[in-house]
Structure formats: C-alpha cells, structure tokens
Amino acid sequence: MERTNHVPLIHDLLEAINAHDVARVAHFHAVDYEGLDVSRATLRQGREGVCEELGEWWRAFPDLRFSIQDVVVQPGRLAFLWTAEGIHEGVFLRVPPTGRRIEVCGVTLLTVQHGKIARGLYLWDMAGLLRSMKLLPDLPDTGQGAGQAALLSHFLM
C-alpha cells in the first residue's frame, strides 16, 4: 500500500538538502525521476539530475538553507511552500556573485511512487531572487513586514 503521509519524507529530504548531502538527497528519488524547474528549459532526469540541479544552487549559495512554511498531502502527491536563504557567492543563472544575502520563496509539487520521489515541479519567485541580488528594484514598502518571508508567514496564519 502506498504511503499517504509524506510529511516525514519531506522533512527528511529537507534535512538532507540543508546538509548539502548529495547521496542522501539522491536516495529519496526514483532512479527514473523527472523534474522541472520553471527557470530551466529542460527536464532534469534521474538521481543525477536532482543532484546536478542542487549542486548549482549549493555552489552559488554555499550556506543555502530551506525552510518549510506549509505542506499539503494527498495520496501519492504532496506540495510544500518553502523559503530559501543564503549568500550569493557563485554564478547562478549566469549572474555573477553579488555577495548579497538572498531570500526566495517557492512551491514544490512532488509525485511519490513506492516511497520514492518520481516527479517534481519547482515553482519559485525568480523576481524575488533578483530583488535580493539588487538586480531588480525593490517593491514598494507596504508596512506589512520585513520581506516576502514575513508576508508569507502572516498570510499562512
């Protein structure tokens, strides 16, 4: 029977990602995994594809840490809202290092089969990332908090 409570899976996966543990991250994914990040023009395939994608993030943001804001679970599927923070110290999406602390929010949709992540769709706020890097102008201050993560926390209450 397929496991329907994938919340522990997500927390264990996030722990491995935050530890930058490539082998542990790969272990959570199916051998024939397919992933689509909205910032990319091609699918990432297999465990190697997952590790390659995360490697690009980790090289650009060596102290990168993800945190989960909310999780939605259905049998065989789950979605989670996340924020990521780190210092931009390497090239990312052809942008040279800025040395700036970034904050970005996103949503990940995963399909789980036989206890492994079979498919992933990664939607994230590229404009927010570019604002953190000071490559786009800041949004007007609405007086509602200190950034997008604070707004998300307030919205989810």
Please report, for the domain that includes residue 111, its CATH number.
3.10.450.50
Q: Using alpha carbons, select from 107, 101, 108 the residue that is nearest to residue 85.
A: 101
According to the model, what pLDDT value does residue 7 have? 76
What pLDDT is recorded for position 3?
A: 43
Domain coverage including residue 23: 7-156
Sheet with 77-87, edge to edge strand ranges: 44-45, 29-37, 116-124, 101-113, 77-87, 65-74
- Identify the segments of the chain with pLDDT beneath 50: 1-3
User: What is the distance between the alpha carbons of residues 118 and 77, in angstroms, rounded to a whole number?
Assistant: 10
Question: What is the pTM for the complete model shown?
Answer: 0.84
What pLDDT is attached to residue 40? 87
On whether residue 1 sits in a domain, the answer given is: no
The count of domains in the chain is: 1
Q: Where are the alpha helices (DSSP H) in the chain?
A: 7-18, 22-27, 46-60, 126-132, 148-156
Establish if 2 belongs to a structural domain. Answer: no
Amino acid found at 87: I
Whether 142 is covered by a domain: the verdict is yes
113, β-bridge pairs: 116
Question: What does the pLDDT read at residue 2?
Answer: 43
